[in-house]
Amino acid sequence: MKLAILHELNAERAVRRPVILVTDTESGEQRLVKAADFAGDPLRTELEKQLRMGKSAGIEAGGKKLFLNVYAPTAKLVIIGAVHISQALAPLARSLGYDVTVVDPRTAFASPERFPDIPLIAEWPDTALPPLNVDAYTAFVAVTHDPKIDDPALLHAFERNCFYIGALGSRKTHAKRADRLRAQGAKESDIARIHAPIGLAIGAVSPSEIAVAIMAEITAVLRLPPKEKEEAA
């Protein structure tokens, strides 16, 4: 790899932007494709597919054998609310490779005893969230059922363009939430991004089952093309 490409690659990774290194396996020629350039690249379909999967792979295109080295940021999961569902969700997400953080200002809930080996921030969202550098590779889940905690957290998620935003509650509860968020300046397009009721509709009842439904939905949003996401929902 040429030094200039390496420097450019490291610069993109440092700011958590995905890139793919395209290598001609016969000539050794290489080029770096940044996420912002995918749409105009002749390999757009292949690049987007491999990025969704988060895996490097060899392909054939234009009569050439190419290898696509995928460099995608490690996905994050920010859980607002140290509740029973979170106790099941956090380790499940960790097992799937997510960097997980639980935020809840209620210290009776956000305790190391309830969340062993999981980073906890016992602060209000306005204080806790900015240092986390929430971004487009972050899944964001609000499960406290407390508007004073969930609502400002969701507004932050809108601003940071999280790839998944979910909130616990029935349709009736979500309708009231949407009204509150509108009153605080949220756009309709932002509110439409919230997955509520949260998780895939698998008939989940227990906290562990709800955690599975949530991670299944997050996985579908991360991995599937838009059309298949709609079918999964």
What is the pLDDT of the chain when averaged over all its residues? 93
Q: Is 221 found in the same domain as 201?
A: yes
Q: Is 205 found in the same domain as 108?
A: yes
Q: Which two tokens stand for residue 166?
A: 């979910």
Q: Is 83 found in the same domain as 56?
A: no
State how far the alpha carbon of 136 is from the alpha carbons of 5, 44, 155, 202, in Å.
Answer: 24, 19, 14, 27
Alpha carbon 154 to chain centroid distance?
A: 14
> Which CATH number covers residue 105?
3.40.50.720
Strands 19-24 and 30-34: what pairing?
A: antiparallel
What pLDDT, in 10s, does the model give residues 59-87?
999 899 999 999 999 999 999 999 999 99
What pLDDT, in 10s, does the model give residues 150-190?
999 999 999 999 999 999 999 999 999 999 999 999 999 99
Q: Is 12 in contact with 19 (CB distance < 8 Å)?
A: yes
Q: Is 86 in contact with 102 (CB distance < 8 Å)?
A: yes
Domain that holds residue 100: 76-232
Q: Is 24 found in the same domain as 107?
A: no
Q: Is 110 found in the same domain as 205?
A: yes
d(CA 107, CA 94): 22
Q: Is 90 found in the same domain as 11?
A: no
Q: Is 105 found in the same domain as 60?
A: no
Question: Which pTM was predicted?
Answer: 0.88
d(CA 160, CA 229): 22
Q: What pLDDT score does 131 carry?
A: 96
Q: Is 214 found in the same domain as 189?
A: yes
Domain boundary among 48, 71, 94: 71
What pLDDT, in 10s, does the model give residues 193-204?
999 999 999 999
- Non-local CB neighbours of 218 within 8 Å, separated by 6+ positions: 77, 93, 139, 164, 166
